[in-house]
Amino acid sequence: MGSNSKDEKILSAYEKAAQEGIDPRCIPQKLTSPVPIHDEIVYPEYTEEEQNNWKFLYNRQMSFLPGRACDEYIEGAKALNLSQDKIPYLKKISHVFQETTGWKVARVPGLIDVEDFFGLISRKIFPSTDYIRSKEELDYTPAPDLFHDIFGHMPLLTNSNFASFYQQFGIASLNATGIDRKYLETLHWFTVEFGLIKKPEGMRIYGAGILSSLGEVQHALSDDVEVREFNPDKIVVQEYDVWHLQPILFAIESFEQLEDGFESWTKRKKLL
């Protein structure tokens, strides 16, 4: 890693946005003390309004998912017992992860530094926030909150192929420097956040950025989107804009393809 330390810094899309005077919540924080993991996580005292915000977001978003979200996501949401009734308890989700794919949850204060993020992912620990967006931000929030982290990301972490791919992603990212880091960030965007999957019954969504966003969930399967085949070499050089609806998305054929395709790309790049 040391040989690249003198290279000019390659800014991530989020860092660039932050430099342009965007909401400070979008600036990743370096973790300075250990974060609570698994059984160490306590349930916050949410206000009634916060619980209502969850209920509203859950019901609204779920109403769009039949025929749009992939089965693996829907099954995962059931396994995690996500419901409108209550903001989920990260500790309980962590226990379901343990029983399914061996992952755990860590409670983090917000968007975290990439080194911290990759370090946790590579150890099969998913960093999640536990605060929810305010009533004024129900339609759009610039930085991840628990609705994005839990509703968007967590169901698929009960899927063994996806979970295995994601751990490999963390390991490869720790090994990557320079342009490879940027490539992996782009690949994360077009898979974990904005991925589609081609099913016999039609195109479906698995990306957390789509599944947790009102605008994206209605847009992603529309004719306004050009869907391209999964190909890591092409994905990593695809430009994207984090602040607008996505005009180009990539579709995998299966989660096995995602896992295997990513593994061979990273091995070729000597990142695994």
148 a catalytic residue: yes
Nearest residue to Fe ion, using CB? Answer: 208
Place of tokens 């995998």: 252
Residues 50 and 87 sit within 8 Å (Cβ to Cβ): yes
Give start and end residues of each alpha helix (H) in 155-249.
160-175, 178-188, 208-211, 214-219, 232-235
Instruction: Give 187 or 208: the residue with its C-beta nearer to Fe ion.
Output: 208
CA separation for the pair 232, 194 (Å, rounded): 14
Residue 106 CB, shortest distance to Fe ion, in Å, is 15
**Least gap, CB of 259 to Fe ion (angstroms):** 19
Query: Count of residues binding Fe ion (CB under 5 A)?
Result: 1
* Angle between helices 160-175 and 114-122 in degrees, nearest 10: 130
Query: Which of 220, 231, 229 shows the shortest CA–CA distance to 183?
Result: 231
Name the residue nearer to Fe ion (CB basis): 197 or 208.
208
Q: Given 3-state DSSP classes, what are the helix, strand and coil percentages for the chain, each rounded to the nearest 5?
A: 50, 10, 40
Nearest CB to Fe ion, comparing residues 90 and 208: 208
Least distance to Fe ion from the beta carbon of 164, Å? 19
- Annotation says 212 is catalytic: yes
Active site annotation includes 38:
no
> Which of these ranges, 50-58, 196-204, 205-213, 235-243, lies near Fe ion under the rule CB under 5 A?
205-213
- DSSP reduced 3-state for 115: helix
Q: Rank residues 172 and 208 by Cβ distance to Fe ion and give the closer one.
A: 208
- Distance in Å, CB of 4 to Fe ion, minimum: 26
Residue identified by tokens 């628990």 is 146
The answer on whether 153 is annotated among ligand-binding residues is yes
Rounded to 10°, the helix 178-188/160-175 angle is 160
Rg of the chain in Å (alpha carbons): 18
Compute the least distance from the CB of residue 3 to Fe ion, in Å. Answer: 31
Q: Segment contacting Fe ion (CB under 5 A): 31-39, 62-70, 128-136, 204-212?
A: 204-212
Determine the Cα–Cα distance for residues 98 and 37; give it in Å rounded to an integer: 12
Encoded one letter per residue, x for contact with Fe ion by CB under 5 A and - for no contact, window 154-173 reads: --------------------
Query: Is the CB of residue 54 less than 8 Å from the CB of residue 132?
Result: yes
Which range, of 96-104, 157-165, 201-209, 224-232, touches Fe ion by CB under 5 A?
201-209
Which of the following is catalytic: 193, 213, 216, 259?
193
Part of the chain binding Fe ion (CB under 5 A), chosen from 63-71, 99-107, 119-127, 200-208: 200-208
The catalytic residues are: 148, 153, 193, 212
Contacts with Fe ion, residue ranges (CB under 5 A) = 208
Query: Residues marked as binding for Fe cation?
Result: 148, 153, 193
